[in-house]
Amino acid sequence: MKVSMEKISYSYGRKAALTDVTASLPAGSLTGIIGPNGSGKSTLLRILGYVARPASGRVTYDGADISSMSPMGRARLIGAVLQDQGTQFPFSVEDVVEMGRFPYNGMLGRPGRRDTEAIQKAMAMAGVLGLEGRQITTLSSGERQRVFIARALAQEPKVMLLDEPTSHLDISYQLEVMEILKGLAALGTTVIIVMHDLNLAGLYCDRLIALKEGRVVSEGRPDDVLTADNILEIYGVRAVVKNNPETSRPGIVMLTPSSKP
Amino acid sequence: MPRKRAAGSLIAVLAVSVVVLMVSASVGTVGVPVAETLKSVAGCLPESIRTALGIGKADPAFDAIIMKVRLPRIILGFAVGAALGAAGACYQGLLSNPLADPYIIGVSSGAALGASIGIVLTSSSMAALGGAIPLFAFGGALVSMILVMALAQVKGKVQSESLLLSGVVVGSFIWALVSFTMLAAGEDLPKVMMWLMGSLSARNWGHFAMSAPYIAVGIGAMMLMSRGLNVISMGEEQARFMGLGVEGFKKAVIVACSLATSAAVGVSGIIGFVGLIVPHMARYLTGPDHRVLIPVSALAGGALLVAADTVARTIISPAELPVGTVTALVGAPFFFYLLRRSRREGKSGK
């Protein structure tokens, strides 16, 4: 599903969080939103799910304005995984994934055959089959993150939004999560990820949106966005960017403030 | 998933509840054989069914004790305990706070003010405790709930933290007013004190009829919203992404809980700890799924309060303890035990 942002602006009180953000993401693309802390990445993600309402501008999904959809209707199109949520109570893995069916069968719905199938499929895709009876509170962070991805997939979304899904994970889990998301995009789901790790972003994303102080500084293919000049402008950090011959993807080495390029 | 566990725990609490009710009806200043208790209760059945089942008539003396004195008190206690248990489970889930209890948003202080004003105004006999006082308490509880909700709202949204804070603030303000009415109470002071400690003494079917509809509607609404409580415990923002209208839902849960709690507090006074501990026990038994947790908490709350009240009215018989002191005396150490146990197991949220 094609996701378009048209001149989105948002502010917290008087402070502008986003200004005139415009971008268009084709169906089945894997997009990374990058930028320094406080640049409006997470706010943009919330606006894309209409959990935060933009002050001006609009978001459309295949041309349909998101603000005209019902909350349940939106949840059937958009799945999301936010950071560090949902581990207060020891729900079983199966119960957590089953909650992803809420937008389909609502407050009273008894899970039917369609739901069971969607749950099984979601668990298989996220690689959490076999964990059904485990309590969410006893899982490792990597396993837990995959369970939350499975829960979002159970919503059978056309668009997946993820807020730093790889933070707190070791490198093998990071790759595991990114592989799941890459597979998802290959099946046609539009995946949008807020990320901090530029190498991971360069390695997996088809497109990047770089934000600074709520404005789009650079947008496009990772090769074009992840340049030494851009990194200096966005983060104020000097870096060397080389095309990695193994992956033919941009590889970034940060320079410490004292070292010369 | 663990449907077996859910069904098992429901059947278990149901069985325990029935046993507690029977035992409680049979013990007291006058002991009544369990068989007589059963006969009395069966007296509600039509004549034809009783003869078909071969159930004889109960001894009239026992029948009077059971039907007029004990059963109203026991059934009322069960309803009050059920309201407190279910509302506690809802608040703990809604606020993601294991220390939440049904009184957390100041319902108890509002009820206390309503009751003490009522006692001072009507000032007449103990009989007044039957008529107008529960209505005063119920009204006070609802007013404080509305006040807390209004204070906690920012741009139409109720934030959990501001809800807790305004609950505390409104609570302390109202408690000061309660102290003030206590000074003005004069010789009615013992009645106010008795009410504040929570008691089921001298309650009749009228009290039950007065409170049961609200408690039933409240618990029914909580059960209808239980799946939403599961979803919201994934985090409020996450719940929005999952299609839940979080703001309306939170208000609906608070209203349902306050309705049941206010009705309970109105007829029983402030009985502490039941609404705090029971959900923890129930979660230990059946897991955190609110679809099972709420009915299990309701049944367990009812059984626990009836058991505590049985102790309250028998331990220094013919005198009585206020049941609120029994629940606090037993509840506090038990809560500490649960806390230690869950820490040892390294599980959060139990």
Strand A3-12 relative to strand A56-61: parallel, antiparallel, unpaired?
A: antiparallel
Closest residue on chain A to B243 (Cα):
A72
Bond prior to A257 in cis (omega within 30° of 0): no
Closest partner residue to A95 (CB to CB) among B1, B243, B283 is B1
Interface test with B, best of A88, A96, A194 (most B CBs within 10 A): A88
CA of B69: how far to CAs of B26, B28, B81, B309, in Å? 12, 11, 19, 13
pLDDT score for B244: 95
Q: Among B10-19, B29-38, B111-120, name the most confident range.
A: B10-19
Say if the Cβ atoms of B2 and A133 lie within 8 Å.
yes
pLDDT at B342 over 80: no
From A74, A80, A89, residue closest to B349, measured CB to CB? A89
Indicate yes or no: CB of B289 within 8 angstroms of CB of A79: no
- Of A51, A10, A44, A9, nearest to A25 by C-alpha is A44
Of B140 and B350, more confident? B140
Chain B positions in Cβ-Cβ contact with residue A94 (cut-off 8 Å): 1
Amino acid at A190: T
Report chain A residues whose CB lies below 8 A from the CB of B289: 91, 95
For testing contact with chain A, the best of B154, B242, B246, B350 (most A CBs within 10 A): B242
Q: What is the mean pLDDT of residues B307-315?
A: 92
pLDDT of amino acid B2: 57
Q: How confident is the model at residue B344 (pLDDT cuts 50, 70, 90)?
A: low
H or E element in which residue B153 lies: strand B153-154
Distance CA B329, CA B182 (A): 25
> Is residue B347 over pLDDT 70?
no
Backbone phi, psi, residue A210, to 5°: -100, 120
Nearest Cβ partner for A85 among B93, B238, B287: B238
What was the pLDDT predicted at B1? 45
Question: Alpha-carbon distance B85 to B102, whole Å?
Answer: 8
| Integer Cα distance of B29 and B131 in angstroms | 26
Neighbouring C-alpha atoms within 13 Å toward the C-beta of B61 = 4
Residues B119 and B192: beta-carbon distance below 8 Å:
yes
A3-225 has CATH 3.40.50.300 classification: yes
Kindly list the residues of chain A whose beta carbon comes within 8 Å of any beta carbon in chain B.
46, 49, 51, 71-72, 74-76, 78-80, 82, 85-92, 94-96, 98-100, 102-103, 106-109, 132-133, 135, 137-138, 151-152, 155, 161
Q: How far is CA B176 from the centre of its chain?
A: 24
Cα of A228 vs its chain's centroid, Å: 24
Copy the structure tokens of residue B339: 């806390």
Residue of A nearest to B93 (CA): A89
Q: Flag whether pLDDT at B350 surpasses 50.
A: no
Residue A72, amino acid: M
pLDDT at B26: 86
State the pLDDT at residue B125. Answer: 54
What does the pLDDT read at residue A260? 53
Asked if A90 lies within 8 A of B348 by C-beta distance, the reply is: yes
Strands (E), A13-131: 15-25, 30-34, 56-61, 64-65, 78-81
Sign of dihedral through CA atoms A231, A235, A240, A245?
A: negative
B158 pairs with which residues across the strands? B153
Contact residues, chain A, for B96 at CB < 8 Å: 88
Q: Provide the mean pLDDT of chain B.
A: 86
Percent of chain B residues past pLDDT 70, beyond the cut: 94
Mutation target vs A (from B234, B253, B341; most A CBs, 10 A cutoff):
B234
Q: Answer with the residue of higher pLDDT: A30 or B158.
A: A30
Domains and CATH numbers, chain B: 2-340 (1.10.3470.10)
More confident residue, B62 or A2: A2
Q: Are A202 and A249 in contact (CB under 8 A)?
A: yes
Q: Is 70 exceeded by the pLDDT of residue B129?
A: no
Distance (Å, rounded) from C-alpha A235 to C-alpha B275?
51
- Position B83 confidence tier, pLDDT thresholds 50, 70, 90: very high
CB A198 within 8 A of CB A226: yes
Q: Is the CB of residue B240 less than 8 Å away from at least one CB of chain A? A: yes
Distance from CA of B212 to the nearest CA of A (A): 24
B-chain CB neighbours of A80 within 8 Å are 238, 241
Of A10-19, A220-229, B253-262, B329-338, least confident by mean pLDDT is B329-338
pLDDT of residue B312: 92
The answer to ipTM > 0.85 is yes
3-state secondary structure of A107: coil
State both tokens at A206: 């088809």
Q: How far is CA A155 from CA A102, A108, A164, B242, B307, in A?
A: 8, 17, 20, 8, 45
Q: Which residues pair with A159 in a beta bridge?
A: A78, A190
CB atoms within 10 A of CB B207: 24
* Contact (CB<8Å) A76/B243: yes
pLDDT below 50 — which residues of chain A? none
Rounded CA separation B4/B282 (Å): 15
The pLDDT confidence band at residue B320, using thresholds 50, 70 and 90, is confident
